[in-house]
Amino acid sequence: MNVLGIETSCDETSVGVVDGDGRVLANVVATQVDLHARYGGIVPEVASRQHVLDIRPVCEQAIIDAGIDWGDIEAVTATHGPGLAGSLIVGLNFAKGLSAALGVPFVGVNHMDGHVYGAWARTEDYGPKPFQELVGEQPIMCLVVSGGHTELVLLEDHGKFRLLGETRDDAAGEAFDKAARVLGLRYPGGPEIQRVAENAPDAEPLPRAWMRGTDEFSFSGLKTAVLNRARALGIYPPGASGEAADPQIIAGLAKAFQDSVVDVLVTKTIAAAKREACVGIVLVGGVAANGPLRASLESKSPLPVAIPPFKLCTDNGAMIAMSGLVNFRNGRRDDWDLDVIPSLRIGTSSLI
Ligand code: KG4
Ligand code: ZN
């Protein structure tokens, strides 16, 4: 069964194809990162217009990459939320049109469920176990960390999720993006902070918000701590000291910030996994691309950890196709008047 998945919830137009064993046959991503970088964050109207331009060529390329014909697609799936309304509508309507044209079923997929199922998609360098073998191995603790979300989700059974806790304010990726802005680094901030923190000198640690007794998170206090320290060190606002900021100071502060986020995410995820008697941990979402986060979780966790390769961590169509495959296998079909978007993320994610 070949499933085609469409993802347009934010600033990536992506189409992926997986086969019935969850093997990724294609995963084409057209990113808008450079388009939005000049504004320091995502501009929703610009994003939806670009999706309109990109969706058709990206879809055609996915069919070519997969080495199949349109008639080999047996189901179509697309992200129906959460995300930016104008962006979601583009992928969702394209998917509905495609399913009507091909005469195959359509199902809408939750973006966060999609991120989780990115961990089950199989590529040449990843995915040692066939999808079927994993059915029955639960519960699994999933840490979903992206630009819009930070969630601890318990996968109780395939297709059955329980939200244990989420951020009360900023998402982890959003905090990376905002801290990067304070430090004068480019958008998206996560990869930039990781890059400059690599050879950083030791710096005074920043606080951790543990939110004890709950699986919830909070990152806005940490963001304020970065801002306050940047002010005290004379590197914020930019040009306040009259001269260019010392790269070593920026690097030290970036590392202190990253250490704090990683420590909180890893410690709380492992504690929740032990408490819920999980058989494994899954780390997904754009922030899962962070090297120190991956390394820390893998070294500290007593349970097996599954972290998809970079291309399956950030927004992509293959993870949506994978989640669609699970939904189809569970007998789900959406009818034609699905235009309910469960929750919308409106506005830019990286403005302070
Ligand atoms: O999942 P994603 O691609 O899009 C959303 O659904 O939000 O995640 C994007 C987020 C951005 O906030 C970006 O800064 C963050 O993932 N990110 C990283 C890294 N690469 C991307 N954060 C930390 N370290 C990274 N290497
Ligand atoms: Zn995402």
The domain spanning residue 65 has which CATH number? 3.30.420.40
Number of domains in the chain: 2
Structural element, H or E, at residue 177: helix 172-182
Cβ–ligand 1 distance for 289 under 6 Å, the answer yes
Among protein residues, the one whose CA lies closest to atom 22 of ligand 1: 190
DSSP label of 146 = -
Q: How confident is the model at residue 242 (pLDDT cuts 50, 70, 90)?
A: low
Q: Cα–Cα distance between 67 and 26 in angstroms, integer? A: 9
What is residue 187's predicted lDDT score, i.e. its pLDDT?
86
SS3 224: helix
3-state secondary structure 234-255: CCCCCCCCCCCCCHHHHHHHHH
Domain that holds residue 239: 134-307
Q: Cα–Cα distance between 216 and 146 in angstroms, integer? A: 15
Which pLDDT tens digit goes with each residue over 121-170? 999 877 766 665 665 688 999 999 998 889 999 999 877 889 999 999 99
Q: Does residue 41 contact residue 349 with C-beta atoms inside 8 Å?
A: yes
Residue 231 Cα to ligand 2 midpoint, Å, equals 32
Q: Cα–Cα distance between 14 and 1 in angstroms, integer? A: 20
Cβ–ligand 1 distance for 287 under 6 Å, the answer yes
What is residue 224's predicted lDDT score, i.e. its pLDDT?
95
Q: Mean pLDDT of all residues in the chain?
A: 90
What is residue 331's predicted lDDT score, i.e. its pLDDT?
81
258 with 335, same domain?
A: no
Q: Does residue 126 contact residue 308 with C-beta atoms inside 8 Å?
A: yes
Q: Which atom of ligand 1 is nearest to the CA of 11?
A: 4
- For the four alpha carbons of 315, 316, 317 and 318, in that order, the dihedral sign comes to negative
154 with 165, same domain?
A: yes
Q: Which ligand is nearest to the CA of 261?
A: 1
Residue 170 Cα to ligand 1 midpoint, Å, equals 13
Which pLDDT tens digit goes with each residue over 282-340? 999 999 999 999 999 999 999 989 888 889 999 999 999 999 998 888 888 776 544 44
64 with 170, same domain?
A: no
pTM above 0.95, yes or no: no
202 with 337, same domain?
A: no
162 with 303, same domain?
A: yes
Residue 33 Cα to ligand 2 midpoint, Å, equals 14
